[in-house]
Structure 1
Amino acid sequence: MEIKSLQLMIFGLLLLISNCGSEDHFDLSGCELTNELKSVADETGTVWFDSQAQAFAIFSGIDGTYDGQNIGIVCNLPDNYKEEGVTVVFSGKYFENKNLTPQIPGQEYYDLELSKVSLIHDK
């Protein structure tokens, strides 16, 4: 009876460990974020390397504008998303970025902390 309980506990532990590996984990160790400004959920954007920031960013349109862009310098973009021109759906928080200057009117720079990201595959 005692052996069966031990086997059941081991099975449960293995099941728990295997489920933990299936979720995306975001490394926030390199993020120095201050002054949260807004959050987004299931936003569509495009990944580009921003030459001014020397980092990958997600560019997304601003609702209600013709050419406005949010540029989120991503502090925790997983390596498999670091490819220019890929379209993603993401959720996260935008933080103030005082270091970068928009190059085109209508652009707004932020630091972006992702909580969720996934690729949109071409049809």
Structure 2
Amino acid sequence: MLEMLLTKSLIHKLSTLSPQIQASIRISSSSGGPLFFAAICDRPASYLNTPLTVVAAGLSKWLDIYSGVLMVRVLLSWFPNIPWDRQPLSAIRDLCDPYLNLFRNIIPSVFDTLDVSPSLAFAVLGTLGSILNNSK
């Protein structure tokens, strides 16, 4: 019922446009017809690019990139002969180790060799990312 009302309202508004614009709209929406406009109207209000959603989207993307860099750091830690004093490895270490050290202080190593703190670090990043994705 609401979709039909919105569609009629949009068709009425389209009828006031110039014939060239009407023709271009008919061509571009010929595959979906009025349902195309109804689908646009069904988008949530949070779809708008408010400053908060833009910041949330940026932070979410940054967390994705940081998770990738953190994954590289964790995978490289399995190789004992990696020269961590050379670039770009030292930059990766300097970027990731302060965050990992927060969790290394909370969770001790298992059998003094297996460090399980990155699993908690990834869980926290994933939780923050899902909160930011839901706020968009």
Structure richer in strand, relative to its length: 1
Shorter-chain TM range is under 0.3
Calculate the TM-score normalised by the size of structure 2.
Answer: 0.21
- Kindly indicate which of the two structures has a greater share of residues assigned to helix: 2
Query: Which structure has the greater CA radius of gyration?
Result: 2
